[in-house]
Amino acid sequence: MTTLPRRRFLAAAALLGAGVLEACNGHGPGRTIGAALPPPTTSTTTTLADIPPGPAADVLILQTASSIEHFASGVYTRLEGSQLITSPGVLDAVRFFADHHSAHGSLFGGATTRSGGVSYTLANATLSGPVEDRLQAMRTEADAVALAYGIEAVAAATYAFTAGQLSDPSLVGLMAGIGAVEGRHLAMLGTYLAGLSPAAGSATPPYPAAGFLGVAGAILPGVGL
């Protein structure tokens, strides 16, 4: 079971937002790598601050994760059909990642049901709005890959942050394990965009320069549902 100090911290984190975790992880300010999407708003009907730690909060976290996966899966499908991606290796990766996100959505949906909630099957609304303009403005393969990179960065940051907010320890591994794979997607896309050894300050590196994934771009639970 989760210890009391952790639960107390989580309640505070829910009230204060992602910055709390960043400040407490001992690694300074946020270092989310290349999150190109606009920062999310917190204007939603239900957030984690409205719910005490426990199964209901876990459900909200899982539903938010599902919404990100459905969003990502949909965008990848659009990218695949955009005709902009012509390099065979990139096209293979896009298809591969689309399948992953679809599977991740199913995994989060199943976990939501097992936690007593209703599986969330829609794309995250907060992320979907701004990305439409990006999709319309894409002109090159690099544009498409950069968009995918931004989505993976948000997903990886969100799961790294919210894994620590889950009350059910058995869900922590699921969230962290899927987040780790989004990190691998980032590495692959970052390699296409910036190379294996990116220049200092690159906006789309395959790995964070300092060696730790940043969580500053995380979507807070409940946002966009």
Partner 1 sequence: MASGTTTSTVPTDTVLAAFVQGVELAAVALYAQAAVVVASPAAVSVMATFSAHHREHALAFAELAGAEALKGPLPGVLEALQPSSLLVSERDGLTFLFDVESRLASTHQYLVGRFTTVPAVALACTTLPVEGQHAVVLGTLLSMPLGSMLPTVQGVDGYLSPEQFVSP
Cβ nearer to partner 1, comparing 44 with 85: 85
172 lies in the binding site for partner 1 (CB under 8 A): yes
Q: Using an 8 Å Cβ cutoff, are 6 and 203 in contact?
A: no
The DSSP line for 86-140 is --HHHHHHHHHHHHHHHHHHHHHHHHHHHTTS----S--HHHHHHHHHHHHH--S
Cα distance between residue 38 and residue 104, in whole Å: 23
Hey, what are 85's tokens? 């991606």
What is the contact mask toward partner 1 in residues 4 to 23, using x (rule: CB under 8 A)?
Answer: -xx--xx--x-------x--
70 lies in the binding site for partner 1 (CB under 8 A): no
Cα distance between residue 20 and residue 23, in whole Å: 5
Hey, what are 168's tokens? 């059910």
- Selected binder of partner 1 within 14, 48, 72, 163 (CB under 8 A): 163
Please choose, out of 51-59, 60-68, 113-121, 179-187, the segment that lies near partner 1 by the rule CB under 8 A.
Answer: 179-187
What is the contact mask toward partner 1 in residues 21 to 50, using x (rule: CB under 8 A)?
Answer: x--xxxx-----------------------
Taking each helix axis as running N to C, give the angle between helix 55-80 and helix 88-114, from 0 to 180 degrees, rounded to the nearest 10: 160
Half-sphere exposure in the Cβ direction for 82 (13 Å, CA): 30
Q: How far is the CB of 129 from partner 1 (least distance, A)?
A: 27
Is the Cα dihedral 104, 105, 108, 109 positive or negative? negative
- Selected binder of partner 1 within 117, 179, 221, 224 (CB under 8 A): 179
Q: How far is the CB of 136 from partner 1 (least distance, A)?
A: 29
Q: How far is the CB of 46 from partner 1 (least distance, A)?
A: 23
Cα distance between residue 58 and residue 62, in whole Å: 6
82 lies in the binding site for partner 1 (CB under 8 A): no
- By CB under 8 A, what part of segment 187-216 binds partner 1? 187-188, 191, 196-197, 206-208, 210-215
Q: Would you tell me which residues interact with partner 1 (CB under 8 A)?
A: 2-3, 5-6, 9-10, 13, 21, 24-27, 92-93, 96, 100, 103-104, 107, 156, 159-161, 163-164, 169-170, 172-174, 176-188, 191, 196-197, 206-208, 210-215
